[in-house]
Structure 1
Amino acid sequence: MKPKSLLKPILVIFTIAITVCFMDVSAQDVIILKTGKKVEAKIIEINDVEVKYREYNDPDGIIFTMSRGKIREIRYETGRREKEVPEEMDEAYYVDDGKQAIKLNFFALAGATTILLYEYGLNPGSSLEAALKINGLGFNNDEGKSGFGIDIGYKVKMGSLFRKRDSYRPKHFLAGGYFKPVLGFNHVNFDDGYSYNKYTYVHFGFDFGVQWILRNAVALDLFLGWHYYGGSFDDKYSGDTGSGGDISDGNLFGASNSAVSLGMNIGGVFGKSRPDKKKKGRR
Structure 2
Amino acid sequence: MKKLFFSFAFLFISTIIFSQADTLFLQKNKKVACKIFEINDSEIKYKMAGNIDGPIYIIDKSTVTKYTLSNGFTELIMPDELSIEHEHKEIIGNRQVIKISPFGFAFNHISFGYESVIKVGMNLDIQAGYINSEINSDAAKMYSSGMNNSTHHAGFYFKPGVKFFLGEDFSIKGLKYAHPLKGRYIKLDLAVSYINFQDLSLVYYSQNNYPYNGVQTIRTVYSNLNTIAYGGFVNYGRQFILGNILTLDYYVGMGFTGQSETYSNPDFFTNPFGTNNQQYYYAGKERNYTSNYYGFLRIPTVGLSFTGGFRIGYIIPSKNLRKKPLTKN
Name the SS of the counterpart of 2:104 in structure 1: helix
Task: Report what 1:174 is aligned to.
Answer: 181
Query: Structure 2 vs 1, CA of residues 272 and 183 (structure 1 numbering), >3 Å: closer, same or farther?
Result: same
Q: Which residue of the other structure, out of 269, 282, 292, is the alignment partner of 1:248?
A: 292
Q: Assess if the C-alpha contact under 8 Å between 2:99 and 2:311 holds in 1.
A: yes
- CA drift at 1:175: 0.9
Over the matched positions of the two proteins, sequence identity in percent amounts to: 19
Matched positions, count:
180
How has the CA–CA distance of structure 1 residues 221 and 208 changed in structure 2, closer, same or farther, with 3 Å as cutoff? same
How far residue 199 of structure 1 moved from its aligned partner, in angstroms, is 1.3
Q: Secondary structure at the match of 2:189?
A: strand
Structure 1 residues 144 and 207, CA gap change in structure 2 (3 angstroms): same
1:132-155 deviations in Å (ceiling 9; x for gaps) = 121117433453221122111000
CA 1:93–1:165: 2 relative to 1, 3 Å: closer
CA–CA distance in 2 between the matches of 1:209 and 1:166? 29
Deviation for aligned residue 1:230: 0.5
Q: Kindly provide the CA deviation profile for residues 61-101 of structure 1, in whole angstroms up to 9, marking residues without a partner as x.
A: xxxxxxxxxxxxxxxxxxxxxxxxxxxxxxx9964222111
SS of 1:110's equivalent in the other structure is helix
Q: Provide the C-alpha distance between the structure 1 equivalents of 2:159 and 2:296, rounded to a whole number of angstroms.
A: 11
| Distance of 1:167 and 1:232 partners within structure 2 | 56
Structure 2 residue runs of 5 or longer lacking an equivalent are 1-85, 141-149, 202-221, 270-285, 321-329
**Structure 1 stretches lacking a partner, 5+ long:** 1-91, 275-283
Of the three residues 171, 185, 198, the one matched with 2:192 is: 185
5 Å matches for 1:150-161?
A: 150-158=158-166, 160-161=167-168
User: What's the counterpart of residue 25 of structure 2?
Assistant: none
User: What are the within-5 Å matches in structure 2 for residues 132-281 of structure 1?
Assistant: 132-136=128-132, 138-139=135-136, 140-141=139-140, 142-158=150-166, 160-163=167-170, 170=177, 172-191=179-198, 194=201, 196-234=224-262, 239=269, 241=287, 245-255=289-299, 256-272=302-318
8 Å CA contact retained: 2:200, 2:225: no
Aligned partners of 2:155 and 2:319: how far apart in 1?
36
Does the CA-based 8 Å contact 2:155-2:194 persist in structure 1?
yes
- In structure 2, the CA distance between the partners of 1:217 and 1:93, relative to structure 1 (3 Å rule), is closer
Which of residues 111, 117, 123 in structure 1 aligns to 2:107?
111
Distance in 2 separating the partners of 1:236 and 1:144: 15
Aligned equivalents of 2:295 and 2:260: distance in 1?
19
Contact 1:235–1:241 (Cα < 8 Å) also in 2: no
Check 1:197–1:99 CA distance in 2 against 1; reply closer, same or farther (3 A cut): same
Question: Residue type matched to 2:226 in 1?
Answer: K
How far is the alpha carbon of 1:197 from its aligned partner?
A: 3.0
Q: Which residue pairs with 2:22 in the alignment? A: none
RMSD: 3.1
Supply the distance in 1 between the matched residues of 2:319 and 2:177 (Cα, whole angstroms): 14
Q: 1-side partners of 2:110 and 2:159: how far apart?
A: 13
**Structure 2 CA distance for aligned equivalents of residues 203 and 108 of structure 1:** 21
SS in 2 for 1:266: strand
1:102 aligns with 2:98: yes
- Change in Cα spacing, 1:193 to 1:201, as seen in structure 2 (3 Å) is closer
- How far apart are 1:108 and its partner, in Å? 3.4
CA distance in 2, matches of 1:134, 1:219: 22
Deviation at 1:164, TM superposition (A): 7.5
Distance in 1 (alpha carbons) for counterparts of 2:169 and 2:103: 29
Over 3 Å counting, the alpha-carbon distance change for 1:167 and 1:145 in structure 2 is: farther
